[in-house]
A and B are shown apart, each in its own frame.
Chain A
Amino acid sequence: MTDASGKGGPTETLMVTKFLRARPQDSWTIDAARRHNNAYQTLDKAFAMEPDAVVQAVSDSVLRGKGGAGFGTGQKWSFLPKDVFPRYLCVNADEGEPCTFKDHMLLERDPHQLIEGIVVAAFAIRTDLAFVYVRGEFALAADRLGQAIRDAYDAGFLGKNILGSGFDLDLVLHRGAGCYIAGDETGLLSSLEGERAMPRIKPPFPAAQGVYAAPTIVNNVETISTVPHIIRRGAKWYNAMGENRSTGTRIFSVSGHVERPGNYEVELAKTSFRDLIEGLAGGVRDGHTLKFFIPGGASSPWLMPQHLDAPLDMDYVQGELKSMLGSGAVMVFDDTTDPLQVAWRLGKFFEHESCGKCTPCREGSGWIAKVLYRMANGQGRSDDLDLLLSFGNNIVPGLNAPFAQTTICALGPSTMSPVVSLNRWFRDEIIERMRADETRRAGLAVTPA
């Protein structure tokens, strides 16, 4: 989107990050949130509605999950089986997708916005117990959210008969202990039950059978933080921003070789990658040019400079560019970057984080990392890329985005994203380099194994 002043620079559209930007000194305290941000003032409005009407408003807004999959939030809520209780709400604050750093900012700097969203969402789906699963490494976020929860209880926004509505809600902060796979919604539920964070086969989906085998809604921090704004200002106000099925705003975490890495909240579809990377993040660092970028977390296929003008529209990026906006992590790499090194580092990440439950992922992630390592370090062979694609086809049959799945969760197919990206954009360059490495090694008296 361009600046209304006509200066032409891209601008942010602040909604969930507005208050924390306005009051960096104390936005996380209940006093500041109530005094300067009308915190908890949507509760009366929500309680005056029928729970189903709240669900309908969220559906009408076309709010889509901001954790990665982009599933319709109102639609997910409406999947809960009627009259099955107890049921639960779990907020996913595990944020482990590489280079995503928006959710812990929301916890550290505006926990009351999240709690308000939790109360509204819990009321809408008729539960009296909600959890926030906070990634174990987020110590400050756990402190701030823990304090905010205590303050919200004291002020009567949590607990029994909230604001005289007759609605009760308890909220439990649950700290993780270090593992990416707890971010997958079913892995999260296993972890919350005190087990290894192993994902579970779907169906049954969590909305039918989640934690403790009870109906459960899992939503991302940013998704739930958006809910109070929709209830306060209306579905129409929200979906007037953006276009098509990419309505409202999203926070993008931009990092890597940019001048101003950071979180930027922009209007979807009306903003382009160029606005984000070159405008808001200040462009590629001094004197260098863009080589490629990863648009939506480690699992998303890479994009090239020719894609910079594409809109930040979830369906466009998936349909036209065969990638995804995923978790909103935009990683920028300049002309000094070795794509094989990047691919190997992602391979190493997936190998480390594979939970080991499904064979294609457990075995495949290790082999992908091994082969990429030798390729990146002068020991590659000219058919290595095809070797990766050949066994990778057993993990992602067809190798076409959106990726097919042979595993219980989406970590399996994600392991092939770096390989598919290398093949898509750097195939000739890589094969040439592997040939040169082979030639060089052939000249050695003793060739490495």
Chain B
Amino acid sequence: MGLTDADQRRAQQIIDRYPYPKSAVLPLLHLAQDRDGWVSPEAMEQIAELLGLTPALVLGTCSFYTMFKREPAGALVVSVCTNLSCMVNGGFDLFDQLRSRYQESSDVSVEEVECIAHCDHAPAFQVNYDFHGPADAHGAADVIEQYLDGRLAARTISGTARQEVPR
């Protein structure tokens, strides 16, 4: 899928904020990812067309940034920090245990990330870019289960809380 008519209108609002349309590449990639759960080749082509760029340029930008998933991912992205303050507080262990626990899951994608700036809560992790921690694997899995069964409301996969895009 790509951008719907409503998305296109929203895309135009975003483009209008910038002196040059090309600046809208990142926000439009976020928009597409929020809609589809990943950034598809079709979405990149549409963005290129909207902005008067080549699809190659959009792909070049997209592939540089870790938040953009170019393959379908789970609805929940769990980002576990293993950088220094998390490392010395059990971050690697947390990552390893969560990864094996959700290896087979199609809903949860566990990834190791660089410092997410939640070091005063080490070991820290994010679920669709909401901060959590400190937690051991048991506590973290409990949080993830709460998102899965709806007791906690998850953000979209690009971390946008509501459907409208912040100004």
Q: Determine whether A104 belongs to the interface, using a CB cutoff of 8 Å to chain B.
A: yes
Question: Which residue of chain A has its CB nearest to the CB of B17?
Answer: A172
Chain B 79-109, CB-CB to A under 8 Å as 1, else 0, gives: 1001111011000000000000000000000
Question: Of the candidates B17, B67, B83, B88, which one forms a contact with A137 in the assembled complex, judged by CB atoms under 8 Å apart?
Answer: B67
Q: Are B84 and A101 in contact (CB-based, < 8 A)?
A: no
Bound form: Cα–Cα A173–B158 in Å: 15
- Are A98 and B83 also in contact (CB < 8 A) when A86-B19, A143-B161, A150-B167 are? yes
Bound form: Cα–Cα A275–B17 in Å: 46
Q: Determine whether A250 belongs to the interface, using a CB cutoff of 8 Å to chain B.
A: no
Q: Are B83 and A100 in contact (CB-based, < 8 A)?
A: no
Bound form: Cα–Cα A180–B115 in Å: 9
Q: Determine whether A362 belongs to the interface, using a CB cutoff of 8 Å to chain B.
A: no
- Report the minimal beta-carbon distance from A63 to chain B, rounded to whole angstroms: 23
B: interface residue count bin: 35 or more
Question: Of the candidates A139, A170, A261, which one forms a contact with B119 in the assembled complex, judged by CB atoms under 8 Å apart?
Answer: A261
Q: Are B67 and A337 in contact (CB-based, < 8 A)?
A: no
- Are A345 and B82 also in contact (CB < 8 A) when A136-B67, A140-B130, A333-B88 are? yes
Q: Are A136 and B65 in contact (CB-based, < 8 A)?
A: yes
Q: Determine whether B141 belongs to the interface, using a CB cutoff of 8 Å to chain A.
A: no
Bound form: Cα–Cα A143–B165 in Å: 9
Main secondary structure of the interface of A (DSSP, over half): mixed
Q: Determine whether B114 belongs to the interface, using a CB cutoff of 8 Å to chain A.
A: yes
Bound form: Cα–Cα A178–B29 in Å: 13
Q: Are A352 and B167 in contact (CB-based, < 8 A)?
A: no
- Report the minimal beta-carbon distance from A294 to chain B, rounded to whole angstroms: 8
Q: Are B61 and A195 in contact (CB-based, < 8 A)?
A: yes
**Chain A interface: which of B3-11, B20-28, B143-151?**
B20-28
Tally of contacts, chain A with chain B, CB under 8 A: 159
Question: Which residue of chain B has its CB nearest to the CB of A261?
Answer: B120
**Chain B interface: which of A24-32, A65-73, A251-259?**
A251-259
- Report the minimal beta-carbon distance from A189 to chain B, rounded to whole angstroms: 10
- Are A193 and B166 also in contact (CB < 8 A) when A101-B119, A139-B160, A261-B120 are? no
Q: Are A177 and B60 in contact (CB-based, < 8 A)?
A: no
Question: Which residue of chain A has its CB nearest to the CB of B130?
Answer: A139
- Are A191 and B26 also in contact (CB < 8 A) when A96-B114, A146-B166, A196-B64 are? yes
- Report the minimal beta-carbon distance from A369 to chain B, rounded to whole angstroms: 13
- Are A194 and B17 also in contact (CB < 8 A) when A98-B83, A257-B88 are? no
Q: Determine whether B118 belongs to the interface, using a CB cutoff of 8 Å to chain A.
A: yes
Q: Are B61 and A194 in contact (CB-based, < 8 A)?
A: yes
Bound form: Cα–Cα A420–B161 in Å: 43
Q: Determine whether B56 belongs to the interface, using a CB cutoff of 8 Å to chain A.
A: no
Q: Are B166 and A194 in contact (CB-based, < 8 A)?
A: no
- Report the minimal beta-carbon distance from B118 to chain A, rounded to whole angstroms: 6
Chain A 98-125, CB-CB to B under 8 Å as 1, else 0, gives: 1111011000000000000000000000
Q: Are A255 and B159 in contact (CB-based, < 8 A)?
A: no
Q: Determine whether A349 belongs to the interface, using a CB cutoff of 8 Å to chain B.
A: yes
Q: Determine whether A149 belongs to the interface, using a CB cutoff of 8 Å to chain B.
A: yes
Specify which chain A residues have a CB less than 8 angstroms from the CB of B46 in the assembled complex: none
Interface residues of B, Cβ cutoff 8 Å to A: 17-20, 22-27, 29-30, 51, 53, 57, 60-61, 64-68, 79, 82-85, 87-88, 113-122, 126, 128-131, 155, 158-161, 166-167
Show 27 residue pairs from A and B whose CB-CB distance is below 8 angstroms, ordered by the A residue: A139-B160, A142-B159, A149-B167, A173-B167, A176-B65, A177-B30, A179-B65, A180-B114, A192-B23, A193-B20, A194-B25, A212-B19, A255-B119, A255-B122, A256-B84, A256-B85, A256-B119, A261-B85, A329-B119, A331-B84, A337-B88, A342-B87, A342-B88, A345-B87, A349-B114, A353-B114, A355-B64
Known A-B contacts: A101-B118, A146-B167, A331-B85. Give 4 more (CB < 8 A).
A104-B117, A177-B30, A194-B23, A212-B20
Closest 10 CB pairs of A and B: A146-B166, A194-B25, A178-B66, A177-B65, A255-B119, A139-B159, A139-B129, A178-B67, A194-B22, A255-B85
